Amino acid sequence: MRELFKTICLALLLLLVTQSTVFAALYEVIRVADGDTITILRQGDKVRVRLVGIDAPETSKSKRDPGQPFSQKSKQHLAGLVLNKQVSVKSYGQDRYGRILGEVFLGDTNINLEMVKAGLAEMYRGRAAKGLDTGKYRRAEEAARREGRNIWSLGDRYVSPKAWRRRH
């Protein structure tokens, strides 16, 4: 019976570890690429983190193109929240570009969720990361949309970042 208990406990521990990983330490945010991608310093290495569960307006890839509406405001808002600050990251693995998919926290504040609440990112429309609670993102988006915050002030003219990427 004792061996069975040990086996079950070990299996549960492994399940928890594989579902998500919280980087135990705090990491300095050294760059904000756009409204959903940051770079942190982890043990002297630069690590890119893609804020999981959200999709922010696309920034321009050239100086002549302004990018998607609200893209600069989204980037600036994220920078104001985290740039040069110490954050923790709950990891949900990596994306196809090798970036950590993570929920970023400043203290107890979920920065990903704050971006959606501000109407400067929408809930990610692709497949959700395994183990991610998408309900809180959906509820935050519904509230921001109802109140017409930022991207949602565009009404019928709003184009999701996913559709924007396909067109450009």
Catalytic residue status for 50:
yes
State the first-to-last Cα distance of the chain, in angstroms, to the nearest integer. 61
Residue from 99, 103, 122, 141 carrying the catalytic annotation? 99
CA distance 153 to 145: 8
Residue from 50, 103, 122, 141 carrying the catalytic annotation? 50
| Residue found by looking up tokens 């630069």 in the block | 46
Q: Who contacts 77 (Cβ-Cβ below 8 Å, separation ≥6)? A: 35, 115, 118, 120
Residue from 2, 28, 31, 58 carrying the catalytic annotation? 58
Catalytic residue numbers read 50, 58, 99
